[in-house]
Amino acid sequence: VLAFCLYRLRGMDRRKKIPLLGVLSAVMLAAMSLEILPIAYHLNLSVVAGILLGPSLGFIAAFIVNCMLALLGHGGITVMGLNTLLLGAEAMLGHALFYLLPDHWSVSRRAASATVLALLLASCCLIAIVGISHADSDRFLPRHGGEADHQDDRGSSPALGAFAVTVLSVGLIGWIIEAAVTGAVIRFLSQVKPELLSHVLHKDTCKAGTEGCTP
């Protein structure tokens, strides 16, 4: 996927896109280094990157961020590929959903809705990966009574269900926070730098006379 995204760079205006890629990768890296207590959620701004950069550069930004986090001691070197797929999926889905949501919605509403839906789908992919890999998901959850969860003959653990509930319930709080941040950022940029959104805004969503809104 990364190779295909790099191949698509040939048809892009790299003089404008590459600096924006660097800036948004740095912003994502800074956001993911901060933790929201007490839910231990990290903003990643992947949907912001996807909306502004497009799906290909958004995926490349996801790889850059995961690579830097791994090299800076955040961990995840052996699963950098999976992490890139998940974070990159958020950027790609965020871009597609923002573009496909109704034109008459405000840009902040479209961005917030795209964020929640993209993070929900990416979280479902995470749960599916854990289930398919038969990972010991009960290690992510507190044990009760000091007993390990029983595993059936197929190797799947009942703790997977609890893991899924935890990811989706706690994640929902984080998604709402991230949706609010993403909506505010995209709305601000649509007002001060509308040309950054010209590739995803339809003509009827742009205010008359606003420079840079024509796709």
pLDDT values of the chain reduced to their tens digit, one per residue, 215 residues: 999 999 988 877 778 888 999 999 999 998 888 877 777 788 889 999 999 999 999 999 999 999 998 888 777 788 899 999 999 999 999 999 999 999 889 999 999 999 999 999 999 999 998 888 876 656 655 544 444 444 444 445 568 888 888 888 888 998 999 999 999 999 999 999 988 888 777 544 444 333 334 33
What pLDDT shows up at residue 35? 79
102 token code pair: 């109704």
- Check residue 34 and give its pLDDT: 80
Q: How far apart are CA 155 and CA 212, in angstroms?
A: 55
What is the structure's pLDDT at 61?
95
Decide if 62 contacts 84 (C-beta within 8 A). Answer: yes
Please name the helix (run of DSSP H) or strand (run of DSSP E) that holds residue 60, with its range, or none.
Answer: helix 55-69
Give the pLDDT score at 93.
96
First to last CA, the chain: 26
Q: What is the pLDDT of residue 163?
A: 84
Q: List Cβ<8 Å contacts ≥24 apart for 23-32.
A: 24/48, 24/49, 24/52, 24/53, 24/61, 25/49, 25/61, 25/64, 25/65, 25/68, 28/61, 28/62, 28/65, 29/65, 29/68, 29/69, 32/65, 32/69
Would you report the helix, strand and coil content of the chain in percent, each value rounded to 5?
70, 0, 30
pLDDT of residue 136: 65
Give the closest residue to 12 by CA, choosing from 54, 47, 48, 44: 54
Residue 157 is given by DSSP the state: -
Q: Which pTM was predicted?
A: 0.80
Predicted confidence at residue 109, as pLDDT, reads: 95
HSE toward the beta carbon, residue 189, CA cutoff 13 A: 19
Strand partners, 36: 41
Helix, strand, or coil here: 7? helix
16 burial (CB, 10 Å; 0-12 / 13-18 / 19+) is exposed
